[in-house]
Amino acid sequence: MNSFPHITEEYYCQNCNCFRTSIEVNADWKCIKCSNHIEIRIKTKILDNSCFRIRASELATNDMILLDRNDEFRTVLDLKKEGDNFKVAIERYRAINIHKDNFILKLHGGWYHNKEKSRVGKGESHP
């Protein structure tokens, strides 16, 4: 299992206070300017959410994760390291095995960023 980008995603760096393009986000889903985690806008049928794409090794009990864009956020109930994998017990689901370096979407909160009021990549103002 891995968390892949979706065409509707938007990327925002809280530290730099600006939107980023997919090119300005490195392979670790961190800002290429400051190395902080990039906020990712994930829109589902009913919600507009802010998430981080983190490695399975960064997950913690009680984190809210999104397994599938058409699903709901679910709570991580338990984590057990098994070699290079983590066995993750998920609320109202089953336990899944995720390689420590695979990415998963972790809920951060609601999406409150407005491109018209923020800088957009490379420090440029949005038109």
Report residues of the chain scoring pLDDT below 50: 122-127
- Integer Cα distance of 54 and 51 in angstroms: 9
Could you tell me which of 68, 79, 57 has the C-alpha nearest to residue 105? 68
Amino acid at 106: K
pLDDT at 75 (0 to 100): 95
Q: Is the pTM of this model over 0.85?
A: no
| pLDDT the model gives residue 3 | 57
Q: Which pLDDT score, from 0 to 100, does residue 125 have?
A: 36
pLDDT of 7 = 57
How big is the chain, counted in residues? 127
56 within 8 A of 104, measured Cβ to Cβ: yes
Question: How far apart are the C-alpha atoms of 85 and 77, rounded to whole Å?
Answer: 16
Q: What confidence score (pLDDT) does residue 118 get?
A: 56
Q: In this predicted structure, what is the pLDDT of residue 67?
A: 84
d(CA 40, CA 106) in angstroms, rounded, equals 10
